[in-house]
């Protein structure tokens, strides 16, 4: 056997050896494992309805999802905020389960029978991963511990609830039931993951050579596989390998799009770029000549102008080590101005522009000002996406988009804004 030189090759060999320990599952094995997973979820859901203290905590989760949704600034990482938002989105005030959340909150906070409470929890249709996350959060409130990413996010979010949730005391048999259900769920989910890891390596191999390491692709694909294992339902009549294929592919493609190039492109744009360049390579191999945009548009059935724009997308980035001229030994980096010695005139012009924009934004309505300032980071903060602004203001993304359009329309019609923009462009050109 050839000696492996790089540490990455050694890691790959170890992973392949581990994967070979887990053969592919049969349909009956998938059914058995998935049944155990959903049995554990149903057990946790039933316990939520039967135990009064747990009903109160679940009611608070629903109430705060409606009235105090999680804000990105309150989390140590955006990934944690995204995880929680992904799970709770249907129960926000603009979600498709908002009305069910309101009704369930009133029922769970009132004096109801265990049967009525259990039926109410079941009708909420809480996803498996969120059910487990809430269960772990409850277990931690009772003094127990169990690892779970969703529970970590709920814990950070709970610090900013309308009313804090005090610790609770649970009977030993209830604690035992929760722990057993959590172990059964984790074991079943992990079994689905481990027996399908070879599919992750197969899909990751297709995206090699795109500026991302193979081990990183495997890691992202595994995260997609775990998500598929959490959502999979064998009762719907399809195999897990069929179901998880799209989840793994989507995770890998998104990671390649986010980190595989200097400039991040949306996934659908990156797919179009790959399609056009692949067709260009095929035509060049056939004819020995590079096809123009018109020829590619005809081959692909696309608009000529759109094809031309896609071809220009890859020309947006250039290395600073590139020469300034064909016969010049200097590089572009040599022409950059030192950040320690700025241009006094440029600074004055920039300060003047900032003051002018500030006065223009102050003429907008309060809600429009808040959206514009947050969207472009005008007050020394990072620019936020529409979803992050919606979380901060407690409104829907569509409402934020409409406010943004309204604000930009008003700014465009203000006296002097267009002229200030043209002056700014002229200064940038002459500089």
The per-residue pLDDT for 91 is 94
Task: Tell me the per-residue pLDDT of 169-196, one tens digit each, with 9 for 90 and over.
Answer: 999 999 999 999 999 999 999 999 999 9
124 pLDDT more than 50:
yes
User: At 3, is the pLDDT very low, low, confident or very high (cuts 50, 70, 90)?
Assistant: very low
Task: Tell me the per-residue pLDDT of 194-210, one tens digit each, with 9 for 90 and over.
Answer: 999 999 999 988 888 77
What's the CA gap between 407 and 400, in Å, rounded?
10
Choose between 394 and 124: higher pLDDT. 124
Task: Identify which of 387, 388, 369 has the alpha carbon closest to the alpha carbon of residue 379.
Answer: 369
339 pLDDT more than 60:
no
- Please give the mean pLDDT across all residues of the chain: 83
The per-residue pLDDT for 380 is 65
The per-residue pLDDT for 18 is 79
Choose between 406 and 312: higher pLDDT. 406
234 pLDDT more than 80:
yes
- Would you call 5 helix, strand, or coil by DSSP? coil
Q: Which CATH class is domain 349-430?
A: mainly alpha
77 pLDDT more than 90:
no
134 pLDDT more than 70:
yes
Task: Tell me the per-residue pLDDT of 269-296, one tens digit each, with 9 for 90 and over.
Answer: 777 777 887 888 888 888 878 888 888 8
User: At 341, is the pLDDT very low, low, confident or very high (cuts 50, 70, 90)?
Assistant: very low
User: At 312, is the pLDDT very low, low, confident or very high (cuts 50, 70, 90)?
Assistant: confident
Choose between 110 and 2: higher pLDDT. 110
Task: Tell me the per-residue pLDDT of 31-56, one tens digit each, with 9 for 90 and over.
Answer: 999 999 999 999 999 999 999 999 99
Could you tell me the residue ranges of all domains in the chain? 7-23+195-259, 27-192, 267-316, 349-430
Mean per-residue pLDDT for 64-78? Answer: 88
The kind and range of the H/E element at 57 are helix 52-67
Q: The whole model's pTM is what?
A: 0.65
Sorted by sequence, the CB contacts under 8 Å of residue 293 that are 6+ apart come out as: 304, 307, 308, 311
Task: Tell me the per-residue pLDDT of 93-108, one tens digit each, with 9 for 90 and over.
Answer: 988 999 999 999 999 9
User: At 323, is the pLDDT very low, low, confident or very high (cuts 50, 70, 90)?
Assistant: low
The per-residue pLDDT for 2 is 41
The per-residue pLDDT for 79 is 86
Sorted by sequence, the CB contacts under 8 Å of residue 412 that are 6+ apart come out as: 418
The per-residue pLDDT for 106 is 93
> Is residue 335 classed exposed, middle or buried when 0-12, 13-18 and 19+ CB atoms within 10 A define those classes?
exposed
The Cβ-side half-sphere exposure at 25, using a 13 Å CA radius, reads 23
Mean per-residue pLDDT for 141-151? Answer: 91
Do the two domains 7-23+195-259 and 349-430 of this chain adopt the same fold? no
The per-residue pLDDT for 183 is 96
130 pLDDT more than 90:
yes
* The architecture CATH gives domain 7-23+195-259: Up-down Bundle (1.20)
């Amino acid at each position: 056997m050839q000696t492996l030189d790089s540490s990455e090759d050694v890691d790959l060999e170890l992973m392949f050896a581990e994967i070979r320990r887990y053969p592919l599952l049969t349909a009956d094995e998938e059914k058995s494992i998935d049944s155990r997973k959903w049995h554990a979820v149903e057990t946790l859901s039933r316990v939520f309805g039967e135990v009064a203290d747990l009903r109160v905590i679940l009611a608070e989760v629903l109430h705060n999802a409606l009235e105090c949704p999680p804000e990105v600034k309150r989390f140590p990482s955006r990934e944690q905020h995204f995880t929680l938002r992904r799970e709770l989105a249907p129960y926000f005030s603009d979600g498709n389960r908002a009305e069910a959340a309101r009704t369930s909150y009133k029922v769970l906070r009132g004096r109801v029978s265990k049967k009525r409470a259990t039926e109410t929890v079941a009708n909420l249709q809480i996803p498996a991963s969120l059910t487990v996350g809430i269960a772990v959060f409850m277990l931690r409130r009772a003094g127990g511990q169990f690892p779970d990413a969703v529970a970590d996010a709920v814990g950070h979010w709970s610090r900013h609830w309308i009313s804090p949730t005090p610790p609770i005391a649970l009977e030993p048999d209830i604690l035992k039931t929760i722990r057993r259900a959590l172990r059964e769920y984790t074991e079943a989910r992990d079994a689905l993951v481990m027996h399908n890891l070879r599919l992750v390596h197969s899909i990751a191999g297709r995206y090699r050579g795109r500026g991302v390491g193979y081990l990183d692709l495997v890691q992202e694909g595994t995260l997609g596989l775990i998500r598929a294992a959490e959502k999979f339902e064998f009762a719907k009549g399809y195999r897990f390998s069929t179901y998880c294929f799209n989840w793994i592919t989507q995770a890998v493609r998104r990671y390649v799009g986010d980190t595989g190039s200097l400039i991040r492109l949306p996934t659908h744009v990156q797919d179009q770029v790959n399609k056009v360049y692949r067709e260009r390579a095929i035509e060049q191999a056939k004819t020995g000549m590079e096809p123009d945009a018109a020829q590619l548009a005809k081959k692909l059935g696309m608009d000529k102008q759109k094809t031309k724009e896609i071809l220009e997308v890859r020309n947006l980035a250039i290395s600073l080590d590139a020469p300034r001229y064909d016969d010049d030994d200097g590089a572009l980096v040599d022409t950059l101005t030192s950040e320690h010695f700025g241009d006094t005139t440029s600074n004055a012009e920039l300060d003047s522009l900032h003051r002018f924009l500030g006065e223009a934004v102050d003429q907008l309505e309060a809600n429009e000002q808040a959206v514009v300032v947050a969207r472009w980071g005008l007050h020394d903060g990072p620019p936020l996406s529409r979803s992050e602004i919606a979380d901060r203001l407690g409104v829907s993304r569509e409402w934020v988009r409409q406010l943004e359009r309204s604000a930009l329309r008003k700014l465009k019609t203000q006296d002097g804004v267009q002229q200030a923009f043209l002056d700014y462009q002229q200064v940038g050109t002459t500089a």
